[in-house]
Structure 1
């Protein structure tokens, strides 16, 4: 079977019946033995993921086919299937590898859950902006299972450790913020793909004024006339908090969590 044939059939394989977590993810955790024999000594799951991430970063996700990754590693495409059963499995590990482990928390946020979650929010956003292809493919079909995803969740729970929130509420808070970051990044990346975002937004604002001229959508018209859609700043930032809209949304989420915490404290 050549590389083209292998790639064409890779999505037909399905290992979900074997368990909730793919074998390759269990291997990434060290919970499953790695292949001991192969056509090339030294081929590893980590090496496969790193090669795939490098191709995706350089040329885009479409270029990171199983055949191309195998070529980069100097092995046959079928050799990769001893480590990952499907390309979807590889993509899950690629996203995890691209984002990497969460950066250490600075001492300045120690003991301040709100500052800690701001830092956490910014770190997730920065990682997504650094790998746009990965930001668009964060797994959403179930709970996080990969090493770096769960390390990030663990860090968020550490930040919230001294709050009176229940363990369920702490996990829910972390998921709420991570989902907010993903939505924010998706919007910015989509808008940033346009060669002339400011012109398009001006045209959109003009369109809203035209359709609301007869009295329809009165509250939207007030927002447009109030400058809600003027002078957008949509170049990809290093940190998500560089955007007023992002900071506003995060602070309102943190206000809600603060209210819940205050309600739990006696007195």
Structure 2
């Protein structure tokens, strides 16, 4: 009998330990905890590109809007220190002097472009602040305004939808740090060329005094429920311009070996519904065909 009780006691202790480890791995007993969970602060590399920033500043805010880090851009990059107890998702804001894709010259703006980073693991991979992340940030902000809770899952799902709907990219491609020559802003990376095309399209399709203003206008219109295909009417010609071997908007480093980039086809459906938010709301293309439906 004593042996049996001993075995049962050990079994209960093992079960309790296993449960404790599971809770610890999930970030504690609270539902959806969003802190980084680390014991020390961490350094994150931020790369801002709209074209390339020659100078500027970066501000990082946590999920409650509290400023937790700042930095000064040099050749489009800066390392910032994220506190160990930072509440994710965090939002990174970039402003400064950048290369205008339309004119090839530098332009100064105080209109920030943003990137929402869902969790500490994403921040550790390097933070990209680009035209695409600005659109995603605008959609996320609209969802929050509509009453949705900002957490890692919401941020990831929104970025995934925006990346696919606007540039035909995956979540990982949208969050990847762009690759380019910091001095010229030019690149041989197809994903970065698509980002340049998005910026150039915003220059034609948006309103405002600077390219950054026009980009934010385009992002706001998509976030308010306008189909990306309608808002970005110039995306096709913009991709042609940035992938050309010559011209002001050409972004290719190696003009002797032209880069071929797949055609960008923005979605014909609204990224956000305009009615009340309900669970599992479906998004449709303009034809209403079932197999082209998109989850929000």
TM-score range, shorter chain: under 0.3
Question: Comparing both chains, which one has the higher relative contact order based on Cα–Cα distances under 8 Å and sequence gaps of 6 or more?
Answer: 1
Structure with higher helix content: 1
